[in-house]
Amino acid sequence: MTFPSLTSLFLLTRGKRRPLFGLYALVLGSAVMESIGIASFYPLIDMFQDASQLDYYWNKSISLIPALESLNQEQFLFYSLMGVAALFVFKNTFLVLADYGNIRVVTRLYCAWMNQISKIYLDKPYVFFTENKAGDLVQRKIMQTQKASSALRLFILSLGSLTVITGVFLVLCFANLMVTLAITFLMIPVYFVTMKLSQGRMYKTGDRIVQLEKQGFGLATEVLFGIKQVKVFCAENHFQDQLRKIWDESASHSIRANFLQTLPRPVLETLVVLIGVSALLFFMYDSGLGKETFPTLAVFAVGIYRILPLAAGTSSRVLALAALLPSTETVASLLREELDTKKGHSISPMTSQLELQNVSFSYSASNMILKDLSLKFESNKFYGIVGVSGSGKSTIIDLLTGFYNPQQGRVLVDGVDLSEIDISTWLCQLGLISQEAFIFSGTIEDNICFGVDAENRDQNRIKEATRIAYADEFIHLLPQGYQTMVGERGVKLSGGQRQRLAIARAFYLDPPLLIFDEATSSLDAHSERRIQQAIETLQGKRTVIVVAHRLVTLSLADHIFVIEDGRLAEEGTHEELRAENGLYSSLCARQSLD
């Protein structure tokens, strides 16, 4: 285990260090009482085997505590035994409290990490989710936080065991310093070599398991999201083989890690037994087996009896901790991002205009999508964006929403650069209806009132939004109307129904800026006409931007931008552009505009 690895573990305890210190205080108190209890075996054995020693300890105790003078020797011996028993009872009570506190604190930390990571994910910009797989993000949140909490619990238990071992060691030093030091010098090299060889392997194994889990969950999530395509192309065996290879390798590494955890116990048990026998032989040949030897032997027997399981258990925990440290580093790196995240200032509601100013943009360095593009959208006007597939229309929308920042140029809202603001204060001012509408599992009403609690929903607005989006017709035919469950990603609805539901969602929230990115592409001609009428009713009341292939949707637009190869090719009204001999005119000629 390296210092940086443990640093990541300490980072995870931020905000809970006081309770953890309280837990350690309980463990320390338990260790002190156990050490005193083990040390008390020396005078007890001495008193039992030699009556004269009973007088010695009785008189010495009276000199320390005069109140004991009222006891006779039998009573003194009885209360001495009861005192030792009480010490172990209190010691175990402290341990039970420490174990409960350990479980409570670690579990609450685990839940806090889950909540923090959820917030960190949701605060991330859109581009973050385009660069990371959903399965990877989920496994980092759930599996790695669970492993990190296990690592913290193992660390606390190991620290407690080491404290008890230290206390017992001091007692053995008091009983016979030379023998204790000899045992220590024999054990430490073997123990150190065993742990050093195993720790590095455990860490590498744990790191590889984290990587395999990332791959496995990422691929499994993709397969489930694209299950229709998997079925259509009969690719079940292909993906099953890939997943099997990943999980088979993960199983091999897990077996190796678990086996390495079991190695310290037999090694240490063998070592301790050999050393214990050696200590017994030392006492036999050095001091004989006289009365004065038995109390020391008793202390050593009880001490070694306690150290053996503690040392073996601590070794296994340390190795398990080494395998889990990569998970703590993963979680710590996520939580550290919360500290580094800096948001810009809030932006006021748009009152004048939205503008792309000399914008150039590329998703990758090799292919520039937009090239020195300038567009201006004035408040409360209806704009259209037209162009052939791949011309950059949807990329313009990604920049207008602030999902991406341009490599060159600026995106301005009333003169304020979107790259300098808290983007969430801009996104709440617009409604985006995309070509592929995402519907969440839940009811029709839940999807319309997206992000609005049930008690705050306006039923009249719900009905008005569905009427304008032409969604009320199919909703009334559903068995439970607005309370009908739509299934995961809206699988119980048709493509057109999902699209109309998404449009109703935007109308319900009633933002000042509405963006339709090929939103009517899944609708039949009649439904599309109804949506077009709804958009027309918003003219002069809302800023509306429509990206469309079917140009009839834009016939009443105040202004249309024609994009070709990432540049502005033409602009004007529908009639102006249609009259010219340009790209827009040729597109119109290919379509029926009736």
pLDDT for the residue numbered 519: 74
pLDDT for the residue numbered 197: 63
The Cα–Cα gap between 491 and 96 comes to: 51
Residue-wise burial string across 154-175, b where 16 or more C-beta atoms lie within 10 A, e elsewhere: bbbbbbbbbbbbebbbebbeeb
420 φ/ψ angles, rounded to the nearest 5 degrees: -105, 5
CB–CB of 307/89 below 8 Å?
no
Per-residue pLDDT tens listing for the chain (594 residues)? 444 456 777 777 776 677 777 777 777 777 777 777 777 776 777 676 666 666 666 666 677 777 767 777 677 777 777 877 777 777 778 778 777 877 788 778 878 888 887 788 777 777 777 777 777 777 776 777 888 888 888 888 888 778 888 887 787 777 777 777 766 776 667 666 666 666 667 677 777 877 787 777 777 776 766 665 566 556 777 777 887 888 788 778 777 777 776 666 676 667 766 766 666 666 666 555 555 566 676 677 777 777 777 777 777 777 777 777 787 877 887 777 754 455 667 888 888 888 899 999 888 777 888 888 899 999 889 998 988 888 888 889 888 888 888 888 999 888 888 888 888 888 888 888 887 777 777 788 888 887 778 888 888 888 888 888 778 888 888 888 888 888 777 778 877 788 888 888 888 888 888 888 887 766 677 767 777 777 777 777 788 898 887 787 788 888 989 888 888 888 888 888 888 888 888 888 777 655
pLDDT for the residue numbered 255: 78
pLDDT for the residue numbered 498: 83
Residue 234, token pair as written in the block: 């009969």
Closest CA to 156 of 298, 12, 338: 12
The Cα–Cα gap between 354 and 351 comes to: 9
DSSP 210-275: HHHHHHHHHHHHHHHHTHHHHHHTT-HHHHHHHHHHHHHHHHHHHHHHHHHHHSHHHHHHHHHHHH
Cβ within 8 Å of residue 40, ≥6 positions away: 80, 83, 84, 87
Is 0.75 topped by the overall pTM?
no
The Cα–Cα gap between 68 and 58 comes to: 8
**All domains of the chain, ordered by start, with CATH?**
3-340 (1.20.1560.10), 353-589 (3.40.50.300)
Dump strand ranges (E) for 74-229: none
pLDDT for the residue numbered 116: 81
Residue 579, token pair as written in the block: 């009259």
